[in-house]
Structures are given as C-alpha cells and as structure tokens.
C-alpha cells in the first residue's frame, strides 16, 4: 500500500515522491519536509493511549499533539533520529503550507490588497542569453533578488528553484548570522526554472510579502522619461502616465504597510483596505497633477517639450515657487 498524494489523492506506490516532483513541482526540500511529517506521524502513532497522547519514551501524558511534538524534540532529540521540520509559513499569519505555489495562492486569497496582487506567471525563452537578460531586468525593475536553493538534474532536463534573498533558509539562520539582513522566514517571491537544452521554462512570482522591497536607484533613461501627449488635461485626464516602475514599488510598499496594519490594528480588514485605497488614490492623483502642471505650464529653458522627467518636474516646481516669492516681495 502506497501513500496517497496530498495534492490529487492518487496512490502512486513506489513512484510517490517522483510523482510529487514531476506532477506537482515539489522541490527537494518540499519532499524532505513531507518525509519528516510522515516520520512524525509514525512516532506519534506509538504514543496514542485512548484520548490521551503519551510519550512512548517516558510515558509523560499530553493533551495536545503539538505539545507532544515539542517534548519529543526537546527531551528525546537523540532518540528521535530525524528532526521534525515544518513546512513554509506565511509571514503574515503563520499559516503553514507545503510548497511555494500554495503560499502564493494563500497570500493572494487572504492578504492581498486587490485582486490577483500575487500571481504565478509563466514564460518561455529559447536561449540562455534571453533568459539571463530577462532575469536581470526583472530583478532591477521589481526589486527582487532570487537566490538558488536547489538543483536537480535528469537525463533530459535540469530543474532549479530560487527564492527571495530576504527570506531565511532555516529558522536557526539568525543565530548563526547575527548581522544578516534577512527578515522573514518565507516570501512569496520565487522562481522555478526548467532547462531543456536551450529552452528555459520559467514559473515565477515577483511580488514580495512580509517585507518591503529594496529600491534600486539605477534605472534606464527610457523608464525615467515618458511621452506626454500635447492635449488639454480636460480632454484626456489619463494622458499623463506616471513612472510605472516607481508606482509598482509604491504599490508593493503599500501592501507591506497594509500587512503590518492588519497585525497591529483592531480595525476590520475592510476598513484598513478602504483607508489604504484612499491613500493610493491621493498619491497617484498628486503624481499625475504634478506631471501635468509642470509639462504644460512650467516649461523652463532646456526642458524638452512633450517629455516628462520626474527630476525636471520637481526642479520646475521649486523655480516656480521662487518666482512667486520674488513677485510677492
């Protein structure tokens, strides 16, 4: 009798763990965690005595399963040959899941600020150069740094798993690295790469959870400057578009702020969402208003007509304030 798959309920017999890896994208660490859980179940099965859980090594009774598990690890660690490792924990509510995909689905369902805030995307590249260029651009654009955590090679492909560099590899990591900048046990940002010759299949989530993003100030010029259509604002209020990258990072910071507010505040989740939505709307409207005002009314010498640059617009506002002050004097 084999083990029933926790994902699809199929009994794969001796091919159970290969089934998890191939069909459900389990990583090596995911499979090891599953094996640890099975070992824990076998150990606890020896401790059952009617309605009371009893340690099979010292006969100490326990009313709760987790209390017995902690006791076995604390008092009988050497007797229990394999340490019990838990799955991935949500950094916001500590809900435990087994694989990264489930973590993303949970955070998107329970903790997201808007629909499909956390999603898993798929993309295919036909050569390594295109993949590396995309990876570098994605890390720069979204403030994510992926680090490799496992590699598994097969006859016709290689599977690599990456996670966010701000996530802890193990719960005991901080004890060993007291100056580490890693701040959460798990993060939704991850990437899975399947290499088949020169073809790269990528599944990834670029959104962070539980911590803010590190904004890289180095940006491409064509991302800093955006085209402005020379028409009246009244005719087309959405014609002035703010810098997409900065707004993306702003949204990520708002999501992180929302998570902290939910943890610290007693207000209902819906009320927190309403306040943050209003804040986002005010900030974006102010961004568009500043861009429009500077592009059409405060065009100084050297400012390229029909183009909008954030730094130029800010300098433009300062110069206009000086003019107003001098006029009033």
Distance (Å, rounded) from C-alpha 142 to C-alpha 195? 24
Same domain for 112 and 194? Answer: yes
Q: Please state whether the predicted TM-score (pTM) of the whole model is above 0.75.
A: no
Same domain for 50 and 81? Answer: yes
Instruction: Supply the pLDDT for residue 202.
Output: 93
Same domain for 81 and 119? Answer: no
- Residue 193: helix, strand or coil by DSSP? strand
- Across-strand partners of 153? 158
User: What is the token pair recorded at 182?
Assistant: 């890693």
End-of-domain residue from the set 57, 85, 113: 85
321 backbone dihedrals φ, ψ, rounded to 5°: -60, -40
Taking Cα atoms as reference points, which of 18, 192, 109, 19 lies closest to residue 8?
19
Is residue 296 in a domain?
A: yes
End-of-domain residue from the set 145, 173, 205: 205
Is residue 213 in a domain?
A: no
Instruction: Supply the pLDDT for residue 154.
Output: 78
Same domain for 143 and 76? Answer: no
User: What is the token pair recorded at 108?
Assistant: 């998107």
Instruction: Supply the pLDDT for residue 233.
Output: 35
Range of the domain at 167: 96-205
Instruction: Supply the pLDDT for residue 157.
Output: 85
CA distances from 54 to 43, 210, 212 (A): 11, 38, 44
Is residue 26 in a domain?
A: yes
Residue 258, judged by CB atoms within 10 A of its CB (0-12, 13-18, 19+), counts as: buried
Same domain for 81 and 103? Answer: no
Is residue 263 in a domain?
A: yes
- Across-strand partners of 309? 225
End-of-domain residue from the set 205, 240, 257: 205
Number of domains in the chain: 3
- Ranges of the chain with pLDDT below 70: 1-2, 40-52, 56-57, 63, 76-87, 168-185, 211-256, 258-329
Same domain for 228 and 250? Answer: yes
CA distances from 198 to 22, 126, 137, 158, 239 (A): 20, 6, 20, 11, 42
Taking Cα atoms as reference points, which of 179, 175, 185, 22 lies closest to residue 89?
185
Q: Compute the half-sphere exposure of residue 304: CA atoms within 13 Å on the CB side of its CA.
A: 11
Q: Compute the half-sphere exposure of residue 199: CA atoms within 13 Å on the CB side of its CA.
A: 6
Distance (Å, rounded) from C-alpha 156 to C-alpha 22? 13
CA distances from 106 to 95, 101, 324 (A): 9, 9, 53
Same domain for 125 and 197? Answer: yes
């Amino acid at each position: 009798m084999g083990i029933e798959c926790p994902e699809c309920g199929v009994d794969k017999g001796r091919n159970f763990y290969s089934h998890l890896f191939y069909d459900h994208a389990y990583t090596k660490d995911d499979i090891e965690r599953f094996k640890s859980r099975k070992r824990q179940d076998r150990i606890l099965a020896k401790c059952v005595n009617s309605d009371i859980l009893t340690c099979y090594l010292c006969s100490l009774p326990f009313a709760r399963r987790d209390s017995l598990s902690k006791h076995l690890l604390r008092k009988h660690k050497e007797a229990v040959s394999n340490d019990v490792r838990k799955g991935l924990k949500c950094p916001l509510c500590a809900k435990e899941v087994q694989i990264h995909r489930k973590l993303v689905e949970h955070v998107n369902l329970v903790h997201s600020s808007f629909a499909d805030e956390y999603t898993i995307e798929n993309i295919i590249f036909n050569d390594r150069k295109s993949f590396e260029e995309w990876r570098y651009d994605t890390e720069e654009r979204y403030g994510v740094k992926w680090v490799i955590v496992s590699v598994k090679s097969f006859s016709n492909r290689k599977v690599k798993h990456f996670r966010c560099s701000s996530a802890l590899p193990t719960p005991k990591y901080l004890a060993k690295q007291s100056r580490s900048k890693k701040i959460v046990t798990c993060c939704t940002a991850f990437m899975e790469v399947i290499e088949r010759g020169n073809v790269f299949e990528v599944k990834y989530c670029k959104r962070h959870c539980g911590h803010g993003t590190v904004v890289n100030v180095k940006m491409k010029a064509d991302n800093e400057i955006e085209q402005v259509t020379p028409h009246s604002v009244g005719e087309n209020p959405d014609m002035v578009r703010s810098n997409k990258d900065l707004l993306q990072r702003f949204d990520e910071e708002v999501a992180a702020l929302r998570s902290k507010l939910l943890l610290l505040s007693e207000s209902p989740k819906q009320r927190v969402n309403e306040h943050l939505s209003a804040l986002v709307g005010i900030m974006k409207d102010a961004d568009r208003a500043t861009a429009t005002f500077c592009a059409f009314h405060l065009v100084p010498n050297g400012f390229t007509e029909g183009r909008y640059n954030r730094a130029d617009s800010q300098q433009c506002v300062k110069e206009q304030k000086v003019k107003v002050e001098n006029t009033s004097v």
